[in-house]
């Protein structure tokens, strides 16, 4: 009697699952690179900024608090952001790994994430730091436009739409976020330097990779892939 072969499924050990962090100042291109990396690695890209903007659009209690803070360029409290992230990475699409875009932004958030990953038996993150000078960031951010219909992001300098003022995907007229003006951007960069820059020292001894973010999106993406190798 011939015994039928039994197929086996080899699962990736949790210690080898990709847990990536993209950090860098506002306007450095984290969103664009996160989307490409997530597709390349077949993992979800989790943007705290997009989640918070969703709360604001829905008019939730958290969204109302967030609206008052973000319009002036401030940052939400660590506790609130931690809760949002913990709930998100508990979802089923994160079992094969995930990428966090814009989180953590403080040592307290980094410590919280480290403990959360340890509790889940996941590896400590590989950190990709996209570094761009402040003057270039201000120019980039003030030129940023978004589609209010499908959420696509454009930049009039580095990634303009094919048709001026219209979304490439759905043709909707593009808009500018209220907080994408020079004064607010400078305030956001000051807040970033104060609260987030210490993360560089925090992660430097671990799996930390610095990438020059001054080039175009294709150049930066190639640099990130090379750094991850």
Does a structural domain hold residue 12? Answer: no
Catalytic status, residue 144: yes
Which one of the listed residues 53, 88, 105, 140 is annotated catalytic?
Answer: 105
* 7 has a pLDDT exceeding 80: no
Instruction: Indicate the Cα dihedral angle 95, 100, 105, 108, nearest 10°.
Output: 10
Residues 6+ apart with CB under 8 A from 189: 25, 26, 134, 137, 138
Which one of the listed residues 53, 140, 145, 188 is annotated catalytic?
Answer: 188
Closest CA relative to residue 105, chosen from 201, 199, 28: 199
Catalytic status, residue 210: no
Q: What is the pLDDT, as a whole number, of residue 6?
A: 41
Does a structural domain hold residue 2? Answer: no
Does a structural domain hold residue 3? Answer: no
| Phi, psi values for residue 15, rounded to 5° | -65, -15
Does a structural domain hold residue 147? Answer: yes
Higher model confidence: residue 180 or residue 9?
180
Which one of the listed residues 177, 207, 209, 210 is annotated catalytic?
Answer: 177
Instruction: State how far the Cα of 138 lies from the Cα of 134, in Å rounded to an integer.
Output: 6
Cα 128 to chain centroid distance, Å, stands at: 11
Which one of the listed residues 30, 53, 88, 145 is annotated catalytic?
Answer: 30
> 112-155, pLDDT tens digit by residue?
999 999 999 999 999 999 999 988 888 888 888 999 999 898 98
Catalytic status, residue 207: no
Closest CA relative to residue 210, chosen from 122, 140, 137, 126: 126
Instruction: State how far the Cα of 48 lies from the Cα of 196, in Å rounded to an integer.
Output: 15
The mean per-residue pLDDT over the stretch 6-34 comes to 74
Instruction: State how far the Cα of 61 lies from the Cα of 175, in Å rounded to an integer.
Output: 25
Mean pLDDT, the chain, whole residue set: 85
Does a structural domain hold residue 168? Answer: yes
Give the model's confidence band at 52: pLDDT under 50 very low, under 70 low, under 90 confident, else very high: confident
* 17-21, 171-175, 178-182, 217-221: least confidently modelled range: 178-182
Number of domains making up the chain: 1
Cα 15-16-19 angle, rounded to 5 deg: 90
Whole-model pTM: value is: 0.71
Range of the domain at 163: 17-228
CATH label of the domain that carries residue 55: 3.40.50.300
Which one of the listed residues 53, 88, 144, 145 is annotated catalytic?
Answer: 144
Instruction: State how far the Cα of 49 lies from the Cα of 102, in Å rounded to an integer.
Output: 7
Token readout for 35 is 């989307």
Catalytic status, residue 177: yes
Q: What are the distances in angstroms from CA 7 to CA 1, 11, 205?
A: 19, 13, 42
């Amino acid at each position: 009697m011939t015994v039928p072969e039994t197929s086996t499924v080899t699962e990736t050990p949790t210690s080898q699952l990709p847990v990536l962090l993209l950090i860098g100042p506002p306007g450095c291109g984290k969103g664009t690179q996160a989307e490409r990396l997530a597709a390349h690695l077949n993992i979800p890209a989790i943007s705290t900024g997009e989640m918070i903007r969703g709360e604001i659009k829905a008019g939730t209690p958290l969204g109302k608090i967030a609206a008052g803070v973000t319009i002036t360029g401030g940052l939400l409290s660590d506790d609130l952001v931690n809760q949002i992230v913990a709930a998100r990475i508990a979802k089923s699409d994160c079992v094969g790994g995930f990428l966090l875009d814009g989180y953590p932004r403080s040592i307290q958030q980094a410590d919280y994430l480290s403990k959360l990953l340890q509790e889940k038996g996941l590896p400590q993150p590989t950190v990709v730091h996209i570094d761009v000078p402040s003057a270039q960031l201000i120019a980039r951010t003030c030129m940023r436009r978004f589609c209010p219909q499908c959420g696509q992001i454009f930049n009039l300098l580095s990634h303009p739409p094919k048709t001026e003022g219209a979304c490439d995907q759905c043709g909707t007229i593009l808009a500018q976020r209220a907080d994408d003006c020079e004064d607010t951007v400078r305030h956001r960069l000051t807040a970033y330097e104060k609260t987030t820059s210490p993360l560089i020292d925090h992660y430097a001894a671990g799996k930390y990779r610095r990438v020059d973010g001054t080039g175009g999106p294709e150049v930066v993406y190639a640099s990130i892939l090379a750094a991850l190798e």
